[in-house]
Amino acid sequence: MKSTEHNAFLNEAMETLNRIDKENRHLTQLGWFLQTALRRFDRNYLDRRKPQVIVLGDDIPAELLYAVCDDPFYVLGGSLGTAHWADELTPRDTDPLSRSALGWLVNPAFDLTENALIVTAVSSDSRRKLISVLQSGGRKVAALDIPPNQSPNAVHYYTEQLTELAGQIGKHTGKRFSGSNLKRAVKRVANARSQRRRFLTAALSAGSIISDEAVLLAVQCMLFADDLEEWCAHIRALGEELEQLGRQYAFSQKDRPKVMILGSPIVFPNFKVPQLISSAGMDITAVADSLSLGASVVTPKAGVFASADALLQQIAQTHLKTISSGARVSNDGLYSYFKYLVKRLHPDGIVCHILKGQIEYDFELPRIERAAEKLDIPVFRLETDYQYQDMEQLWIRMEAFGEMLTQRKIVRNKRRRTA
Amino acid sequence: MTDNRQGTPEERRKQRFFNKSAATSVKYLRKIDELPHKPASLDPFLNILKHVFVDMQGAVKPAGTLSVGTYCVMVPPELIYAAGAMPVKLCGGSYTAFNIGDDIAPRDACPLVKAVMGFESIGVMPVYRECELMAVPITCDCKKKLAGYLSERRKTVTLHVPTGRSRDGDMEHYVKELYQFSEELTKITGKPLSYERLSWACGLTAAAQYELSRFIELRRRAPLVIKGTHYLAALNALSYTHVSIWTQYMRALCDETERRIQNGEMASKENRPRILVTGSPIVFPNFKLPLLIEEMGGALVADETCMGERGAYDPPAIADQTTDGIMRALANKSTRPCTCPTFTDNKRRVYRIMQMLEDYGVQGVIYHVLRGCLVYDYEYRVLEEEMGKLGIPIIRVESDYNEEDVEQLRIRVEAFIELIKYGRGGDTAVRLRKGQR
C-alpha cells in the first residue's frame, strides 16, 4: 500500500478529531475520547491489536458478547478510506457503511482478521453477502440470522441461534458460556448503558458547553474502547466536568432550532451530518439510529437464581422487540424509539439521514413522515454517502431547513405571547 | 367549458393503466409469437399470458378455486394445492405497474418490487385482486419491506427463509414456518392439512415436474430445438395457471419437441452462439433481454433464474410417508437445492451454472441484474472469476423496467454475440460438452 493511501485514511479521522478538539478545548476530559478514536486509525495499534473477536455491525446483543469475550473489537464502518479499499469487492450500489466495514477487514494496509472470529448478524442484503465475501477469503465468520418478525417461532429460532453463537465465540476465546458469566456481562453492559444515559442527560442540559459532534464521539467510543470499564470511568468524568462547568460559568444558551437525527447510523469519522446541522445553525437534540437504540436497550434484570438459558431467552426477546434494523418487516423498534424521543425532547425538526443504498430506511420514511405530520414536525430527508463533494449542496439545503425551523419558532413564540 | 370525459379521475387513471399495460403485453406477445420456429403447442401458454395481461382476467384455474399470491419459488405450491387453493406467482414484470410503484417505493428499490407495489396500489388486475392471501418469503431487503407494505393492505403471511442451510436448526425453523403458513391456508380454505391431501398435491406437482424434466432432457439433447424466449414464456405461464392444466400443455409441447428432434427440425442454426442467462428473474412482459439475444443472432439455450428452470426442477424427496415427513421434504426441496443468492453460502449456484455450461454447450453467459438487485450483483464477481478460469465470456447487463435502454442493450448484446462468434468461447464450449474441463 502506498503511504498516501494510509495518510488519506488517517487524515479523515484527524480532520474530524481536530474540529471536535478545536470546538471543545475547554473540556479536559474529552482528550481520552479523542485519543481512543484516533487510535483506531493508528497503523501501529492496528498491527498490534490482533483482536480475538471482531464484531461486524451493532446487531449482536452486547450482553452475550461480553459473556464470552472480554474485549470485542467493533467494526462499524464510517470511514471513506476503508470504503475505497472495498470498492472492488462490492457492487456499485452497496451502501457506504457496509463497504467501509468490509474495507476495515479486507485491505492492503493491516490485517485485523488474523486468528479472529468475525461475528455478525444477517440484517441486510449487504451483510449477508459480506459474510460470503469474507468466508470465501478464508476468514472465520459466525453469523446470526435475524428473523423478520416477532412470532414465537422467530423468538425460539433467535434464542437458539444466540446460544449457538455464544458457544462458538466461547470456543474461540476459551471463555465458557455460563450463567455466571452472562450475569456479569449483563451487569457490565447495564452499567455502561446507564453511564451513557447519565452523560447524555448532562450533555443535553450543558447546551453549548459541549459540541454535538463531541457528544456523539464520546458516546460512540463505548464501542471503540478496548476496556468497557475504562470508558465508563471517562464518560462519568466527562459528564461531571460538564455539570461542574455548567454550575461555575454562565454559558450563553442560544435559542437555536433543535433537530433529531433519524435513520442510517452515523459512525466516526464520517460526522458529515452533525457537522452540517451545527454549521446550519441548529442543535442536535437526539439521534435515533441503530447504534443509539442498541445502546439504550434496558437490559433485563438477572435474578440470583436465573439460569443462563432463561436469561438468554429474556435478552433475545428484548432485543428482537427493540432492535432497529432493516432486518425487520416493520421496524417497530426504531419507530417506538422515535416516538419516545419526540415525546420527551420535543424537537423542532427531524433530519432523516439515509446513506445511499440503505433502502430499508427509505422504505420506513413514509411512516415516520405520517407520524411527524400529526405532531406538526417538519421532516427533512438527507441522502448522502461518505464522499465530501456534496457538502456544499447539502449545506444549502440544510441551511434552508434551519431557516424554516427558525421562522416557525418565531411565529410560534409570537403566537404564544399574543395569546 | 364542459368536461366531456367519462368517469371519475380515478376511473380514468385505471382505464389508462389497463390500456397501457395491455398495449405493452400485446407488443411483447406479438414479438414472442413472431419469432421464427415457434412450436404450435406453445399457443396455449401464450394464450394464458394474453388472458391475464391483455384480456385482464384472473388466473387460469378450475371454477371455485381460491388463489394465493406467492412472491418466490420458496413457497411450496404443494402446500397451497393441498389446502384446495392454487398458487399464483405475483412477481411483477410490468412496465406500467413499475411506473406507478416508482412513486411509492424508494428510488433504489428493485423494479420487480416496484411493479408489485404498483399492481397492488392500482388494484385493478384481477390476478392480484382475487388472491385471498399473500405469501412473502423474506429473501431480500426489498421483499422484506414489500411484505410490510402488503400486510397493511392484504392478508399477508411472511415466511422467514434462513440464510444458512448447513444447520439442522435452519431447516427445522423453515418447517415450522411452513406449518404456520399451512394454518393460515386452512383459515381461508377451511381444509385442514392432512397426509392424503398433501400426497395428492405432491402427485399433482410431480406430474408437472415430470413433464418439465422431460422437456429439460429433450432440450439438453438438442439445445437448439426451441427458442429460449419460447421456453421462458411457457415457464412464465405456470405462474398464472393451475398446475394440472399447465401439465397438459407441457405434455403437448414435449411431444411436439420430440417429433421435431426426430425430424431434425431445429429452431436455430448450429453455428448460433449458445447463451445462458442467469441473474435476476425475467418476468413477463419484461422479455426484452431474451428477445434481444435471439433477435441479434444468439441462441438462448439455458437459463438459471427463478422464473425459469430453477422454479420447478426439483420434486420433493419424501423419505417419511407421514404429514410431517412430507412437510420436511417440502422445506428441504424449497431451500436446500435452491441457488437463490439469499443464502450466505451460495457456491452451489456456481456449480449449477458450470453443470449447465456442460449440459447445453454454452458459449457465453449473460448476467442479468435488475437495477437495485444487490444480492445478484454481489455474486457476479464470483461467477466472473469462475468463467474467466473456464474461458467462457460473460457480461453483466443491468436493466430496468422500461424500454429506454433497449437500444443500448441491443448494442452490447450484439457485440457480445459477435465476440463469441468470431472470438473465444467456441472451443471451450466444445471441450465442456465433451466433458474435458
Tens digits of residue pLDDT in B47-57: 999 999 999 99
pLDDT tens-digit profile of B160-206? 999 988 888 899 999 999 999 999 999 999 999 999 999 999 999 99
On whether the CB atoms of residues A193 and A318 are closer than 8 A, the answer is no
pLDDT of B118: 96
On whether the CB atoms of residues B274 and B334 are closer than 8 A, the answer is no
Chain A nearest-CA distance from B131, in A, is: 21
* Contact residues on chain A for B374, CB-CB shorter than 8 A: 91, 93-94, 125-126, 129, 357
Distance CA A168, CA A189 (A): 21
Q: The C-alpha cell of A291 is what?
A: 447504534
Q: Assign residue A26 a region: left if phi > 0, alpha if psi is -120 to 50, beta otherwise?
A: alpha
Look at the alpha carbons of B23, B29, B34, B40 in this order and tell me if their dihedral is positive or negative.
Answer: negative
Cβ-defined contact of A126 to B374 (cutoff 8 Å): yes
Residue with cell string 399574543: A418
Q: Is the peptide bond before B315 cis (omega within 30 degrees of 0)?
A: no
Q: The C-alpha cell of A100 is what?
A: 467501509
Q: Which of B106, B138, B343 sits opposite A362 (nearest CB)?
A: B106
Cβ-defined contact of A329 to B151 (cutoff 8 Å): yes
What's the Cα-to-Cα distance from A244 to each of A206, A214, A247, rounded to whole Å? 10, 17, 5
Q: Which of B144, B372, B381 sits opposite A148 (nearest CB)?
A: B144
Name A119's bridge partners: A55, A142
Distance CA B373, CA B109 (A): 8
pLDDT tens-digit profile of B287-319? 999 999 999 999 999 999 998 887 766 788 888
pLDDT tens-digit profile of B329-367? 999 999 888 899 999 989 999 999 999 999 999 999 999
Distance CA A132, CA B375 (A): 11
On whether the CB atoms of residues B232 and B303 are closer than 8 A, the answer is yes
Cβ-defined contact of B107 to A362 (cutoff 8 Å): yes
Cβ-defined contact of B375 to A129 (cutoff 8 Å): yes
pLDDT of B167: 85
Q: The C-alpha cell of A281 is what?
A: 445553525
What's the Cα-to-Cα distance from B34 to each of A201, B31, B271, B287, B291, rounded to whole Å? 72, 5, 22, 14, 11
Q: For residue A289, which amino acid is it? A: D
Cβ-defined contact of B372 to A359 (cutoff 8 Å): yes
Statement: residue B285 has pLDDT above 80 = yes
Distance CA A162, CA A316 (A): 8
* Contact residues on chain A for B176, CB-CB shorter than 8 A: 153, 157
pLDDT of B320: 87
Q: The C-alpha cell of A311 is what?
A: 436469561
Per cent of chain A over pLDDT 90 is: 74
Read off the pLDDT band of B7 (50, 70, 90). Answer: confident
Distance CA A83, CA A235 (A): 30
Statement: residue B36 has pLDDT above 70 = yes
pLDDT of A1: 43
Distance CA B384, CA B365 (A): 9
pLDDT tens-digit profile of A115-171? 899 999 998 999 999 999 999 999 999 999 999 888 889 999 999 999 999 999 999
* Contact residues on chain A for B170, CB-CB shorter than 8 A: 145
Q: Which of A91, A153, A330 sits opposite B378 (nearest CB)?
A: A91
Chain B nearest-CA distance from A294, in A, is: 21
Q: The C-alpha cell of A302 is what?
A: 438477572
Statement: residue B139 has pLDDT above 60 = yes
Q: For residue B32, which amino acid is it? A: I
pLDDT of A19: 96
Chain B nearest-CA distance from A94, in A, is: 7
Cβ-defined contact of A153 to B140 (cutoff 8 Å): no
Distance CA B93, CA A286 (A): 42
pLDDT of B434: 55
Best probe of the A interface among B175, B378, B399, by most A CBs < 10 A, is B378
* Contact residues on chain A for B173, CB-CB shorter than 8 A: 153, 157
SS3 content of chain A, % helix, strand, coil (to 5): 60, 10, 30
Per cent of chain A over pLDDT 70 is: 95
Cβ-defined contact of B145 to A149 (cutoff 8 Å): no
* Contact residues on chain A for B177, CB-CB shorter than 8 A: 153
Helix (H, G, I), strand (E, B) or coil at B407: helix
What's the Cα-to-Cα distance from B247 to each of A160, A354, B81, B209, B334, rounded to whole Å? 42, 48, 14, 8, 20
Helix (H, G, I), strand (E, B) or coil at A168: helix
On whether the CB atoms of residues B113 and B101 are closer than 8 A, the answer is yes
pLDDT of A330: 85
Q: The C-alpha cell of A91 is what?
A: 457492487
Cβ-defined contact of B378 to A357 (cutoff 8 Å): no
DSSP state of A72: -
pLDDT of A319: 87
Average pLDDT over residues A66-88: 94
Chain B nearest-CA distance from A91, in A, is: 6
| Closest CA relative to residue A206, chosen from A406, A26, A347, A343 | A26
Distance CA B374, CA B353 (A): 19
Quote the strand ranges of B140-253, DSSP E.
156-160
Best probe of the A interface among B152, B163, B171, B398, by most A CBs < 10 A, is B163
Per cent of chain B over pLDDT 90 is: 83
Statement: residue B430 has pLDDT above 60 = no
Distance CA A221, CA A228 (A): 9
Distance CA A357, CA A342 (A): 27
Statement: residue B435 has pLDDT above 90 = no
From chain B, which residues contact A within 8 Å (Cβ)? Answer: 105-109, 138, 140-142, 144-145, 147-149, 151, 158, 160, 162-164, 167, 169-170, 173, 176-177, 180, 341-346, 372, 374-375, 377-382
Distance CA A303, CA A414 (A): 54
Residues 6+ away with beta carbon under 8 Å from B160:
A147, A148, A149, A154, A157, B137, B138, B173, B174, B177
Q: For residue A352, which amino acid is it? A: C
pLDDT tens-digit profile of A360-379? 899 999 999 999 999 999 99
Average pLDDT over residues A12-41: 95
* Domains of chain B, residue spans: 33-434
Statement: residue A7 has pLDDT above 90 = no
pLDDT of B429: 55
Distance CA A15, CA A21 (A): 10
Best probe of the A interface among B107, B143, B173, B182, by most A CBs < 10 A, is B173
On whether the CB atoms of residues B299 and B222 are closer than 8 A, the answer is no
* Domains of chain A, residue spans: 3-418
Q: Which of B109, B142, B148 sits opposite A330 (nearest CB)?
A: B148
pLDDT tens-digit profile of B93-117? 999 999 999 999 999 999 999 999 9
Quote the strand ranges of A125-209, DSSP E.
140-145
Among chain B residues, CA nearest to A155? B173
Cβ-defined contact of B140 to A89 (cutoff 8 Å): no
Average pLDDT over residues A262-281: 95
Prediction pTM value: 0.92
Distance CA B62, CA B64 (A): 6
Lowest average pLDDT, out of B147-161, B222-236, B421-435, goes to B421-435
Statement: residue A357 has pLDDT above 80 = yes
Statement: residue A103 has pLDDT above 90 = yes
Among chain B residues, CA nearest to A130? B344
Distance CA A55, CA A72 (A): 7
* Contact residues on chain A for B158, CB-CB shorter than 8 A: 148-149, 329
Read off the pLDDT band of A84 (50, 70, 90). Answer: very high
Residues 6+ away with beta carbon under 8 Å from A78:
A97, A100, A266, A267, A268, A269, A270, A386
Whole-number average pLDDT of chain B:
92
Cβ-defined contact of A329 to B158 (cutoff 8 Å): yes
| Closest CA relative to residue B327, chosen from B215, B207, B428, B183 | B183
Cβ-defined contact of A362 to B380 (cutoff 8 Å): no
pLDDT of B437: 44
Residues 6+ away with beta carbon under 8 Å from B271:
B421
Chain A nearest-CA distance from B82, in A, is: 23
Average pLDDT over residues A42-64: 93
Cβ-defined contact of A129 to B142 (cutoff 8 Å): no
From chain A, which residues contact B within 8 Å (Cβ)? Answer: 89-94, 122, 124-126, 128-129, 131-133, 135-136, 143, 145, 147-149, 151, 153-154, 157, 160-161, 164, 326-330, 356-357, 359-360, 362-365
Distance CA B110, CA B98 (A): 10
Whole-number average pLDDT of chain A:
91
Q: Which of B108, B141, B162 sits opposite A124 (nearest CB)?
A: B141
On whether the CB atoms of residues A131 and A141 are closer than 8 A, the answer is yes
Q: The C-alpha cell of A406 is what?
A: 427558525
Lowest average pLDDT, out of B2-6, B100-104, B432-436, goes to B432-436
Average pLDDT over residues B37-49: 96
pLDDT tens-digit profile of B53-72? 999 999 999 999 999 999 98
Average pLDDT over residues A262-290: 94
Q: Report the complex ipTM.
A: 0.91
Best probe of the B interface among A89, A97, A129, A383, by most B CBs < 10 A, is A129
pLDDT of B269: 85
Statement: residue B424 has pLDDT above 60 = no
DSSP state of B300: E
- Strand arrangement, sheet containing B299-304: B299-304, B274-279, B364-370, B394-399
Cβ-defined contact of B145 to A154 (cutoff 8 Å): no
